Structure 1
Amino acid sequence: MALLEVRGVGKTFGGLKALEGVDVDVQSNTFHGLIGPNGSGKSTLLKAIAGAHFASTGTITFDGGDITRATPYERARAGLSLKFQITAVLPSLSVYDNVLIVLQTRETVWSLVRSRTRGALHDQVMEALERFRLADHADTLAGELSHGQQQWLEIAMALAPRPKLLLLDEPTGGMSPEERRVTGELLEPIRQWCALVIVEHDLDFIKDICDHLTVLQQGQVLQSGTVEEIERSDKVQEVYTTRV
């Protein structure tokens, strides 16, 4: 059984069909890319998986449980984490405290009241920061980081609770070529314990890090397969030649 199984998922907004009959499988410890022309439904599918909105039709199963109608909180507790396209760090707090707050949301109220969590969670916070080369900036205000570093911080925040699946929506947007390269290097080690679903317009980046790709067109799956299979596909090439 796949870690994530999307079956027949559709999403409508009024009279607009944003998704129709989408099937996607994501295996544990793999990186899976969602690609396609603008408006093909990539971010809509990611949000349906995360619970940012509910699928109109179909089912979504995660780690053996049906999460189709689960709240975002319930999905997070099950081991699913999401980073949206727009950076959402807290700029007036330190880099350290941004990660700490994420971890504190999983603690009991009693632990928080007795102020025990900061010391207990210190090692986890620093591990998350070290993973994304931010340990030296632990006391820096998040708003003072560069754009690329803020993106890394938000990914570190999403990974700090050790999810089973991370959803990333255009994580390299606005980054320099060097920052994009480093982002790929920083993400690679997490496949040892976390799967990844990523939406990204940088095809070179996504092909370099992903094991499998699903190509969407007008809200439907055009083709799924390995990176090599997608690169050899005539119908995928036609879509990117005529619409991208």
Structure 2
Amino acid sequence: MALLEARGLKKIFGKLTALNGAELIVQPNEFHGLIGPNGSGKSTMMKCIAGAEVPTEGKVTFGGQDITAATPAERARAGMSLKFQITSVLPALTLYDNVLLALQGQTALTKLMFSRTRGLLHDKVMAMLEQFRLVDRAGEHASALSHGQQQWLEIAMALAPEPKLLLLDEPTGGMSLEERRVTGELLAPIKSRCSLVIVEHDLDFIRDICDRLTVLDQGAVLNSGTIAEIQSCPKVQEVYLRRA
């Protein structure tokens, strides 16, 4: 059974049809790239999956459950986590406290009030910071990090609750070539425990880490398949790859 199925998605904003019957199917432990020209509907698709937008038509299922009308919080509780383009770390807090808050977000308020969750979650916080090569800066404010490091911190925060699916919207935007390379290295180990849907304009980056790609054009799926299948598709070469 697929982990995520988005079928027949249509999203209309006034006179604009941002999605027109788009589909996306993601298997467990799969890295799936979502690509296409600017304005093809990638971000709208991600928002419909994450719950930031409700599709005008179509259905989204996650783990076999219909989540089309579920709130973002309900999707998070079901095991979905996301990171959009704009970094949303808390710059005035330490790296440690940013990850701690991400973990505490999965804890009931009553337990937060009457238990010492900081101590109980310490090992998990440090493990996430170590995984993303930030453990030596755990006590520093997030504002002291470079742009790339802030992106890594936010990915660590998104992964801290141990989701089944991570959604990343252009995570390498603004990064140097070296930071992009390292980001690929940091993401690779999570495949054993988490699927990934990633929107990315850096085709070299996305080809290196993804198992399958879905190509959108004008709100519809142009093609979906393995990296080799997409690279050899004449329609994709004409509509997307030659514009990149």
Structures share a fold, TM > 0.5?
yes
Match of 1:126 in 2: 126
| TM-score, scaled relative to structure 1 | 0.98
* Partner AA of 2:192 in structure 1: Q
Query: What is the deviation of 1:111?
Result: 2.3
* Partner AA of 2:105 in structure 1: T
SS at match of 1:25: strand
Match of 1:55 in 2: 55
* Partner AA of 1:193 in structure 2: R
Match of 2:86 in 1: 86
* Partner AA of 2:197 in structure 1: V
Query: What is the deviation of 1:115?
Result: 4.7
Aligned equivalents of 1:77, 1:110: Cα separation in 2: 17
* Partner AA of 2:212 in structure 1: H
CA shift digits 1:11-50 (9 cap, x unpaired): 1111100001011110000100000000000011001100
Query: What is the deviation of 1:137?
Result: 0.8
Aligned equivalents of 2:50, 2:72: Cα separation in 1: 6
Query: What is the deviation of 1:241?
Result: 5.3
Aligned equivalents of 1:30, 1:242: Cα separation in 2: 27
Aligned equivalents of 1:241, 1:147: Cα separation in 2: 28
Match of 1:199 in 2: 199
Aligned equivalents of 1:120, 1:14: Cα separation in 2: 49
Aligned equivalents of 2:120, 2:242: Cα separation in 1: 55
TM alignment of 1:137-156, pairs within 5 A: 137-156=137-156
Query: What is the deviation of 1:243?
Result: 3.9
Match of 1:212 in 2: 212
* Partner AA of 1:146 in structure 2: S
Aligned equivalents of 2:203, 2:243: Cα separation in 1: 15
TM alignment of 1:10-25, pairs within 5 A: 10-25=10-25
TM alignment of 1:31-110, pairs within 5 A: 31-110=31-110
* Partner AA of 1:230 in structure 2: I
Aligned equivalents of 2:102, 2:52: Cα separation in 1: 18
SS at match of 1:82: strand
Unaligned regions of 5+ residues in structure 1, if any?
none
CA shift digits 1:125-164 (9 cap, x unpaired): 1111111001111001001100000000000000000000
Match of 1:3 in 2: 3
Match of 2:224 in 1: 224
- Cα RMSD after superposing both structures: 0.9
SS at match of 1:120: helix
Aligned equivalents of 1:198, 1:44: Cα separation in 2: 13
Query: What is the deviation of 1:235?
Result: 0.6
Match of 1:165 in 2: 165
* Partner AA of 1:91 in structure 2: P
Aligned equivalents of 1:156, 1:199: Cα separation in 2: 18
With 172-181 and 108-117 compared, the bigger mean Cα shift is at 108-117
Unaligned regions of 5+ residues in structure 2, if any?
none
Relative to 1, partners in 2 of residues 1:94 and 1:241: Cα closer, same or farther, differing over 3 Å?
Answer: closer
* Partner AA of 2:28 in structure 1: S
Aligned equivalents of 1:124, 1:241: Cα separation in 2: 41
With 103-112 and 221-230 compared, the bigger mean Cα shift is at 103-112
| TM-score, scaled relative to structure 2 | 0.98
* Partner AA of 2:190 in structure 1: I
Match of 1:174 in 2: 174
CA shift digits 1:51-82 (9 cap, x unpaired): 01111100000011000000000000000000
SS at match of 1:140: coil
User: How many residue pairs are counted as aligned between the two chains?
Assistant: 244
